[in-house]
Amino acid sequence: MTGTLDIAIQKVQNSRINQVDFDNIPFGKVYSDHMFIADYVDGQWGGLRIVPFEHLKLSPANAALHYGQSIFEGMKAHKGDDGSALIFRPEKNAQRFNRSAIRMCMPELPEEIFIGGLDELVRLDRSWIPDKEGNSLYLRPFMFAADEYIGVRPSLTYKFMIFTCPVGGYYSKPVRVKIETKFVRAAEGGTGAAKTAGNYAASLYPAQLAGKEGYDQLIWTDSKTHTLIEEAGTMNIMLVIDGKLITPPTSGTILEGVTRDSILALANDWGMEVEVRKVTVTEIIDAIKTGSLEEAFGAGTAATVAHIAAIGYEGIDYELPPVETREFSNKALLEMEAIKRGKKEDRFGWIHKI
Ligand code: COI
């Protein structure tokens, strides 16, 4: 048992950490020693425990497998100079997790279980936090329906879990993206703002088609007119046009990104002009043609700041300015990385220290 939360801890007998090549870590394939679990039964969360990372035993009739009640979050921990673990803005993720839970008709999770579970797990596996610049310990909390029942109704039982994985970069180079005008990620009234498994599943086929045309990702457009840009699925989209930082508002069909919010805060702090408003595809293409589009990038926890190298639209690829010339996004990336690693003052109160 531990701390203020009652968490039973069963440690691994032999850590797997020595099998990991920390100089070459792929994203999302290497898992740390332990995982956190809590169960929702009879209307209450309980059974808080940390156990060795291992496979789950599930009924083939598990409700999440059939009807998709499944939500998740993503965060990163970095190592501070004093050996502490630093987590970036976990309260924001805890709050978004509960907004996703409400939309997917799942029970909310008390923030103290979300944060307390993270704290204890990261404390136990802190030696898995990579030292190397650009690498981090990715934290993956998730919740899924646990009922063994194939009638369609909200599950009565759920599992909340967290595992962690040391990761390198999500994208290894600037991305080529296609503006998608046929398929739709989210429609008004749908689940676009929720971080739920089905949103990602629905994006795979269109992304695969775009992949065959040489693109790494899609920029989704609105479901009604396909004239307004939304997000890229793994990240929010931000642009610098004529010195102004521009990004669409997160009004229901777009995920409320924590990195997006942090970059907006930095831009405001630096006195940059910021516009959170609808952005048309035409405006972007015109800005590329006239040379007023200076920067385009994706913002996400896994992706951090991912420069966009080229945008494809209606069969034409528009190459964007060289990455070295992109003053704002390069500066924002450096600043955020420095804050996350405790190398710069945490002037916004973003760092949760363990
Ligand atoms: C994240 O950035 O943490 C995400 O969840 C995106 C992802 C699908 C890897």
Which residue ranges form the domains of the chain, and what is each CATH number? Answer: 8-169 (3.30.470.10), 175-340 (3.20.10.10)
Describe the crossing of helices 111-124 and 90-103 by its angle, rounded to 10 degrees: 130
- Separation of CA 292 and ligand 1 centre (Å): 30
Residue 35 pairs with which residues in a beta bridge? 51, 163
Residue 2 has a pLDDT of 53
| Closest atom, ligand 1, to C-alpha of 75 | 3
The CA–CA distances, whole Å, from 239 to 155, 156, 286, 305, 315 equal 41, 43, 13, 12, 21
Residue 10 has pLDDT above 90, yes or no: yes
Question: Ligand 1 centroid to 88 CA: how many Å?
Answer: 14
pTM score: 0.96
Ligand 1 atom at minimum distance from 257 CA? 2
Ligand 1, atom 5, lies closest to the CA of 74
pLDDT at 65: 98
CB 247 within 8 A of CB 329: no
Residue whose CA lies nearest to ligand 1 atom number 3:
74
Tell me, what's the pLDDT at 18? 96
Tell me the CA–centroid distance for residue 291 and ligand 1, in Å.
31
* Over residues 110-129, mean pLDDT: 97
Burial 128-149 (b: 16+ CB within 10 A, else e): bbbeeeebbbbbbbbbbbbbeb
The pairing of strands 44-52 and 34-41 is antiparallel
What is the CA(300)–ligand 1 centre distance, in A? 7
Q: Which atom of ligand 1 is nearest to the CA of 301?
A: 2
> Residue 74 C-alpha to ligand 1 middle, in angstroms?
6
Q: Closest ligand 1 atom, CA of 28?
A: 9
Write the DSSP symbol of residue 322: P
Q: pLDDT by residue (tens digit) across 135-163?
A: 999 999 999 999 999 999 999 999 999 99
CA of 13 to the centre of ligand 1 (A): 31
Residue of 165, 216, 234 best suited for mutating to test ligand 1, as the one with most atoms within 8 Å of CB: 234
Question: Does the pLDDT at position 134 exceed 90?
Answer: no
pLDDT digits (tens, 9 = 90+) for 242-264: 999 999 999 899 999 999 999 99
Q: Looking at residues 29-58, what average pLDDT do you find?
A: 97
Give the mutation target among 301, 304, 305, 340 for probing the ligand 1 site: most ligand atoms within 8 A of CB: 301
CB under 6 Å to ligand 1: residues? 74, 234, 300-303
DSSP state of 271: T
Confidence label for 3 from pLDDT (cuts 50, 70 and 90): low
Nearest to 50 by CA among 145, 157, 139, 162: 162
Of 180, 215, 220, give the one whose Cα is nearest residue 199. Answer: 220
Q: What value does the mean pLDDT take over residues 229-234? A: 93
Mean pLDDT, residues 70-81 taken together? 96
d(CA 339, CA 298): 19
Burial of 198 (0-12, 13-18, 19+ CB in 10 A): middle
